Amino acid sequence: MRISVIIPAYNAESTLAECLESVARQSVRPFEVVLVDDGSTDNTYREAVRFETKLTLRVVSQENSGLGKARNEGMAAATGDAYAFLDADDVWLPNKLEQGMKGLLKYPKTAWFYTPILEWTPDKENSTRKRACSQVSSLQSFLSYNPIVPSTIIMRSGFDYTWENDRNLQEDVGAYIRVLSRGDFPKMLPEATLKYRLDFGMTADAEGHVNKVMRAVSKAKDLGYISEKEFRIYQVRKAYELARTYKKRGNTEAQKKWKAEAVNNAIHHGNKSNPNKEVKIIFNSDGSVLKFTIKDDGPGFDFDNLPDPTDPQNIEKPHGRGVFLMRNLADEIEFSDDGATVIMSFNLENELLKEVQKEKEEEA
């Protein structure tokens, strides 16, 4: 079984050497490495050719066309029996190809495989942790939670699969939906063999990434791979996933999201879009807590009895979404005046203490 490693790279000189070194250290040697230089303007090519003595390496150059087209070009150039994909900013553990080879031989009727990942921030090595991962057994289970990261995929070369070429769309999710909709389900191999670099490349722009994902899923809907209802379920869940990401990062983008949601709620639901009614916004901080108070002139609402917006039967209903987002983004939320006033707090001191404690544990 000959495995071709396919690596798309664009301006990857800062991470490519570490990536290629992880391929060179595999316990099962790859048949070949096809690196697609996607129109880089830095020293990506120079970094790549340094590994010609360690690997059977071919560099394919193209004009800058995006990640999807680069992977497709790599597949077209590869000559192995299977493809193993790796992004230029990720790193494999030494047994990655060995595990993949065993999977290919053990499950001859399965066309593609994936594994869990280890989330990784290079300057915080002790923070590496395994991300939750589940077996994709249906299209619905994938829409509920997508565990498939491209750098974990191993795929038989005869499998009918194409990455999305349109760089305005996320290159993987639409391609996954297409093959899942026809019943071609992958097999999850249990061991995490990928170190996935966080807050780098596309993961650094969480909102831009989600927008590209949703455009790809919208295309899948238009092509008939998923229904309108399935699209709405995925749309809402990605919004909540983005909200959790902002809160976890603790950056100012989170404040923009929950503050905008609260103000929009006050205007549309509280004041019923009446231009003669006011929305008051009060901000204060004592150095450890940021607190925002938003008050409208409306009659309020029953904030303790709202529908669960994550329930599929409520996907198309507008009620409850804003409060759900606010509860997930703020550390504390209070309602008064029968819901006409909302107070949201962010505990800055707690986050600082967590970082200090984390640093102490790393030093120990």
- The DSSP result for 151-172, as a single string, is GG-EEETTS-------TTS-TT
Q: Which amino acid is at 134?
A: S
Does the domain spanning 252-352 belong to CATH 3.90.960.10?
no
> Which pLDDT belongs to residue 255?
47
Q: Report the pLDDT averaged over residues 111-130.
A: 86
Q: DSSP letters along 270-301, please? A: ISTT-TTS-EEEEEEE-SSEEEEEEEESS---
Higher pLDDT, 293 or 315: 293
Report whether pLDDT(270) > 70. Answer: no
Report whether pLDDT(242) > 50. Answer: yes
Which of 19-28, 46-55, 326-335 has the lowest average pLDDT?
A: 326-335
Report whether pLDDT(297) > 80. Answer: yes
Q: Report the pLDDT averaged over residues 192-200.
A: 85
Report whether pLDDT(323) > 80. Answer: no
Per-residue pLDDT reduced to its tens digit, 14-41: 999 999 999 999 999 999 999 999 999 9
> Which pLDDT belongs to residue 357?
45
> Which pLDDT belongs to residue 252?
53
| Full-model pTM | 0.71
Q: Report the pLDDT averaged over residues 300-320.
A: 68
Confidence of residue 171 (pLDDT cuts 50, 70, 90): very high
Higher pLDDT, 32 or 239: 32
Structure tokens at 71: 């992977």
> Which pLDDT belongs to residue 245?
64
Q: Report the pLDDT averaged over residues 32-52.
A: 97
**Whose CA is closest to 71, among 174, 151, 173?**
151
Report whether pLDDT(362) > 80. Answer: no
Q: Report the pLDDT averaged over residues 51-73.
A: 97
Rounded to whole angstroms, the Cα distance separating 337 from 55 reads 69
CB 158 within 8 A of CB 109: no
> Which pLDDT belongs to residue 319?
65
**Whose CA is closest to 85, among 152, 32, 21, 26?**
152
CB 72 within 8 A of CB 83: no
Say how many C-beta atoms besides its own lie within 10 A of residue 122's C-beta. 14
For the chain, the 3-state helix, strand and coil shares in percent, each to the nearest 5, are: 40, 20, 40
Please report, for the chain, the start and end positions of each structural domain, with discontinuous segments joined by +.
3-226, 252-352
> Which pLDDT belongs to residue 260?
58
Q: DSSP letters along 43-69, please? A: SHHHHHHTTTTTS-EEEEEE-S--HHH
Higher pLDDT, 144 or 253: 144
Query: Based on C-alpha coordinates, what's the Rg of the chain?
Result: 24
Residue 36's contacts (CB-CB under 8 Å, 6 or more residues apart) are 6, 7, 8, 9, 59, 60, 61, 62, 70, 71, 73, 74, 77
Report whether pLDDT(359) > 50. Answer: no
CA neighbours within 13 Å on the CB side: how many for 20?
29
Higher pLDDT, 143 or 189: 189
Dihedral-angle region of residue 287 (phi above 0 means left; psi in -120 to 50 means alpha; beta otherwise): left
- Residues of the chain with pLDDT > 90, as a percent, come to 52
Higher pLDDT, 277 or 251: 277
Report whether pLDDT(257) > 90. Answer: no
CA angle at 348 for the pair 346 and 354, rounded to the nearest 5°: 120
Report whether pLDDT(98) > 80. Answer: yes
Fold of 3-226: Spore Coat Polysaccharide Biosynthesis Protein SpsA; Chain A (3.90.550)
Structure tokens at 338: 């029968």
Higher pLDDT, 140 or 307: 140
